[in-house]
Amino acid sequence: MPEILVDNLTHTFGKGEPGALTVLDKINLTFESGSFNSIIGTSGCGKSTLLKMMAGLFTPSDGQMTLDGEVIEGTDRRRGMVFQQDAVFPWMTVAKNISYGPRLRGASKAEQSEIEAKWTEMVGLRGFEDRWPRELSGGMRKRVDIGRVYANDPDVLLMDEPFGALDAQTKERMQSDLLTTWQKSKKTVVFVTHDIEEAIFLSDKIIVLSSRPGRVHHIEEVSLPRPRNDEMRLTEEFLAIKRRLWGMLDH
Ligand SMILES: Nc1ncnc2c1ncn2[C@@H]1O[C@H](COP(=O)(O)OP(=O)(O)OP(=O)(O)O)[C@@H](O)[C@H]1O
């Protein structure tokens, strides 16, 4: 299982040009194997930029990131990404969306069926295998998205506000279900969110970035026991962490 190291990373968009913008400054972080990590911070502090660099969508202007000791360069299916807007193909059924990656890599029909069965079940879409995306709710499309990334069997799951567009109730349900799936597979997760409560509920570690340029302001180790349940959101321990983190963000 992989460990991600962010080593003295600085990023300046348009470096050396007029109007250059430094968004991340000397970031050093470790994301341990199989851990669930969140990144929070005010809008524009560079959360998505950091995540996209882990996905290999941008190259840092200084410093580097490594996955299991190898420098991250370009995209790779070992690092799967889920965005806020779902990336479900409207012309494919739920099952075919989920097995898209393996099919592209030449998986046999039997392997595809096995993957479709496993991941529709794991993300809570059993019985919906033959439905079209237009027939699904926003939460269900998100489930397809997550299943499709998992079906590629990545080592690292990078999630950029995946539940940001969902209503509060659906969001809480999706958080619990994501933890159940994660606990069965123990991928390393890096999750970007605006939502402090979401970060506490999900994470082992929360990184608070300060704004402009983004620097590591605080690292919160969340000691709430696992498995987590909704009642924990109301415990003194949970609320104490929430108060502490809330006080750190600029409002
Ligand atoms: N491709 C780009 N070129 C130039 N500037 C960019 C680019 N992408 C992002 N930025 C700028 O970098 C800064 C950080 O953006 P980023 O999306 O990483 O922030 P964020 O913390 O994820 O914000 P939010 O919470 O609002 O999504 C912003 O000022 C943004 O305008």
Over residues 26-75, the pLDDT tens digits come to 999 999 999 999 999 999 899 999 999 999 998 999 999 999 999 999 99
- Look at residue 157 and tell me whether its pLDDT is greater than 90: yes
ipTM: 0.96
Over residues 3-30, the pLDDT tens digits come to 999 999 999 998 888 989 999 999 999 9
21 alpha carbon – ligand 1 mean position (Å): 10
Is 19 a member of any domain?
A: yes
User: How would residue 1 be classed by pLDDT, with cut points 50, 70 and 90?
Assistant: low
59 alpha carbon – ligand 1 mean position (Å): 14
Is 173 a member of any domain?
A: no
Q: CA–CA separation, 50 vs 36, rounded Å?
A: 16
3-state secondary structure string, 224-244?
A: CCCCCCHHHHHCHHHHHHHHH
Give which of 152, 159, 192 is closest to 47, Cα–Cα.
192
Is 222 a member of any domain?
A: yes
Residue 120: per-residue pLDDT: 93
Q: What is the DSSP letter of 78?
A: T
Over residues 181-225, the pLDDT tens digits come to 999 888 999 999 999 999 999 999 999 999 888 999 999 999 999
Is 17 a member of any domain?
A: yes
Alpha helices per DSSP H over the chain: 47-55, 94-98, 100-104, 109-122, 138-151, 168-185, 196-202, 236-248
CATH number of the domain that residue 40 is part of? 3.40.50.300
Is 23 a member of any domain?
A: yes
- State the residue range of the domain holding 198: 1-75+187-251
Residue 87: per-residue pLDDT: 87
Return the ligand 1 atom nearest residue 41 CA.
Answer: 21
Residues lining ligand 1, Cβ inside 6 A? 13, 21, 23, 41, 43-49, 194
Domain count, the chain: 1
Token pair for residue 11? 């990023």
Is 24 a member of any domain?
A: yes
φ, ψ of residue 138 to 5 degrees: the values are -60, -40
Over residues 173-183, the pLDDT tens digits come to 889 989 999 99
Is 126 a member of any domain?
A: no
Residue 249: per-residue pLDDT: 87
Q: Average model confidence (pLDDT) for the chain?
A: 93
131 alpha carbon – ligand 1 mean position (Å): 36
As a dihedral over the C-alpha atoms of residue 37, residue 42, residue 44, residue 45, rounded to 10 degrees, the angle is: -60
